[in-house]
Chains A and B, each alone.
Chain A
């Protein structure tokens, strides 16, 4: 089963690489990320699969906003009959050297793949130790928030920096969306009504993921993504850009300071393990608190990324000059 899925996976990726029109890339990319996450699931990596599924919606939105610029913002199409379509002659000769180069590298690569596997010891050690060392029942969360929390710190830092970078690099100099901007997307009443039903489900589900992350797959990152996708649904319902980006950015940075400070007191100085002998409750409190912080952080970060892409990157070009 895994092999079949992997084959589909490579096939859809090849579709992306060899597609000639930019908008098809997005649809193929949707298929690709779906199949990717199922393969992760089949390979026994539920957390990674979930993150990939959550990420794919955001990646799609980023690409859509980019491609919308590319095609220009026209009105809705009337029934267009494109009169003459020029057949594009594919010049295969152009690709032959590149293909030969890549194929040569591929053959070299495949010929020098190492044969030894020596990794079960560390795995067994993790699986044996994590329940008393960190707590919880999910080994991945234990590593993510316990053994390698130092990595997680820098990953959270990268998200903070990415938000700052997106704000700074963007063509639009102000951080906030100018007043009076509305989305031109018109939704039917049915869409709005249904989305209103879906929104609370998403919020509940995000809270469930955060609270339960150390027992089953999920955790802070996924919960944060769920919260962020709540904002997507809100945008679909209301279609206005009224949320304060600047305040959320400040909040994100405050949460980040908390993310750095909590492990300092809990993990780096070893308090958790001193108390752990008395009761495992403290460990669970630490895990849930850390999950909640990471969740808030990720929710803020992805909310800003989404909102900037959907609201600011799509503004008409003359708005920056008026400011």
Chain B
């Protein structure tokens, strides 16, 4: 039965995880990991192909109607799952040779469980199951962040988990109202009921649920948690790559799903929030010196851009945003893994002290350059196409806002790409071929996503690029690069006026206040508009 593949896709990683934790030694754990991840990749590919023609659906246990939990793999879910499996395969190979990497069985256990939960999150159509899976993934991520016993930062981890629990209570409360109003726990059924309902009835559940999802995406009021946990002293670059590349994308996925369920309520509000988040993320990224913080704030900015693109209520913008999720996931993983190698080679995380990467390691430098070109939206890269589609739905002044955000991204990465040039100072270690190849593969895949067949295959839609429009965008891109370089050379280098923002941080109480404020503002917007 082909539809049972959905259940096994979630459960098998978990069984493997527990099996590895209980029985396997370290070497066999690595072997099992590689074999299993390759098998998962084949399965995900199969699912991606199968879901092109029609959706795969199963009610767990074969119960009729909406009595049981329904799993469904449509094209969107299949894309996200493929991204997940691909990134996990990269991570596993990256960690394969562990001479200087303290991977133990606990690490593999948590990695597999996180994979299972994320796949479950993308497959499930049950509201409460989403709650359970989000809690599990939060706890797993917290343990992963504190994996290094000696250098872990307990305080930030505790703040992270507590804020997440508070946010999940909002979700559960909203779910209660949703269940009260619609009487079902299934997404499709709820969407059907909601389509025939008065929108004022739905303001409260929508506001409660969206507050929690916005916090999961680290939108405006809570934009510091992701960089904060990424820059924990004990956390690794692999975990940071997972957080930035994948874990935050689960929030974006839920955002798409819930906007579909509620029929796109309050999309103007999320457009504004997304744009402000993007600009704030760029400004904070420009002020950072730590390489992880810079990349993490850049992630916040890109997620803001994606949310803004999704809220445009335009078919092409939506396609572009979904495609940008894939692009950005791969690019960020490549960047973070590359940054991990760089910080290992140079023994520092300060971006102003890293110079001359091209002389130290050609593959890492090439992969990083590819990723940087990808994220800025250079010609022929996947990201340029996704941004092209995203902007194609915008007109007027809003278009200039999007171009400005892209200009900001370019500015951040012009600053970042200073690490490629110059001469390295001090002793530098030799890189590991295994990691080099992974980073290089990821960098090349960023490039490969810009090919027309890849787009059509992934999105299952025949998209067409108008030649002149694309050329126009590329001219804008070139102009932005030149302008960004000039701004960097003549303003940013001379005067460090963003320095006060470097230690910008929110305490737990402030985070709670901002959750409440976000909820209140969203509710007011819904009631007024």
Contacts and interface: CB of A to CB of B under 8 A. Distances in A.
A149 interface: yes
Nearest to B117: A154
A168 interface: yes
Nearest to A143: B67
A239 to B, nearest CB: 30
A190 interface: no
Interface in B9-51: 11, 14-15, 18-19, 21-22
Given A105-B520, A147-B68, A114 B22 contact: no
A20 B18 CA distance: 44
Interface string B62-91: 110111110000000000000000000000
A161 B113 CA distance: 9
Contact of A253 (B18, B132, B197, B524): B18
A117 interface: yes
Interface stretch (B178-186, B288-296, B301-309): B178-186
A158 B179 contact: no
A187 B154 CA distance: 36
Given A121-B183, A158-B136, A273-B62, 6 more contacts: A108-B520, A116-B181, A147-B61, A157-B14, A164-B109, A250-B22
Chain A interface size range:
35 or more
Contacts of A125: 65, 67
Interface of A: 101-102, 104-105, 108-109, 111-122, 125-126, 129, 133, 146-151, 153-155, 157-158, 160-162, 164-165, 168-169, 173, 250, 253-254, 256-257, 260-261, 264, 267-270, 273
The residue among A113, A114, A117, A169 with the most chain B CB atoms within 10 A of its own CB is A114
B519 interface: yes
B177 interface: yes
Interface of B: 4, 7, 11, 14-15, 18-19, 21-22, 60-63, 65-69, 106, 109, 113, 117, 120, 126, 128-129, 132-133, 135-136, 139-140, 142-143, 146-147, 149, 154, 157, 177, 179-184, 193, 197, 200-205, 207, 513, 516-517, 519-520, 523-524, 526-527
Across the A-B interface, the 6 shortest Cβ-Cβ residue pairs: A119-B183, A118-B183, A114-B201, A267-B61, A150-B60, A270-B62
Given A165-B143, A253-B21, A269 B132 contact: no
B182 A118 contact: yes
A148 B146 contact: no
Contact of B61 (A126, A149, A155, A253): A149
Given A116-B181, A268-B7, A158 B62 contact: no
Given A112-B204, A154-B132, A260-B15, A118 B193 contact: yes
A161 B128 contact: no
A146 B113 CA distance: 23
Contact of B143 (A101, A105, A112, A161): A161
A117 B68 contact: no
Contacts of B184: 122
B63 A257 contact: no
Given A114-B201, A150-B129, A273-B62, A126 B136 contact: no
A114 B61 contact: no
Contacts, number: 147
Contacts of A165: 139, 142-143
A157 B113 contact: yes
A85 B473 CA distance: 73
Nearest to A113: B204
A158 B134 CA distance: 11
A148 B69 contact: yes
The residue among B67, B135, B136 with the most chain A CB atoms within 10 A of its own CB is B67
B132 A114 contact: no
B120 A154 contact: yes
Given A165-B142, A267-B60, A118 B181 contact: yes
Contacts of A153: 11
Given A117-B180, A154-B136, A105 B516 contact: yes
B172 to A, nearest CB: 13
B58 to A, nearest CB: 9
B61 A270 contact: yes
Nearest to B142: A165
Given A112-B523, A121-B183, A254-B22, A158 B132 contact: yes
Contacts of A122: 66-67, 183-184
The residue among A102, A118, A133, A161 with the most chain B CB atoms within 10 A of its own CB is A161
12 contacts: A101-B516, A105-B516, A105-B520, A108-B520, A117-B181, A119-B179, A133-B63, A150-B69, A151-B128, A154-B132, A268-B4, A268-B7
B69 to A, nearest CB: 5
The residue among B179, B180, B193 with the most chain A CB atoms within 10 A of its own CB is B180
A194 B142 CA distance: 43
Contacts of A161: 113, 136, 139-140, 143
Given A147-B68, A161-B136, A115 B179 contact: no
A250 to B, nearest CB: 6
A154 B201 contact: no
A264 B11 contact: yes
A168 B146 contact: yes
Contacts of A114: 177, 180-181, 201-205
Contacts of B146: 168-169
A112 B200 CA distance: 8
Nearest to B147: A168
A160 B21 CA distance: 12
The residue among A116, A150, A269 with the most chain B CB atoms within 10 A of its own CB is A150
Contact of A268 (B61, B179, B524): B61
B222 to A, nearest CB: 17
Contact of B19 (A168, A169, A257, A264): A257
B18 A164 contact: no
B136 A157 contact: yes
B69 A151 contact: yes
A127 B193 CA distance: 22
Nearest to A130: B67
Contacts of A250: 22
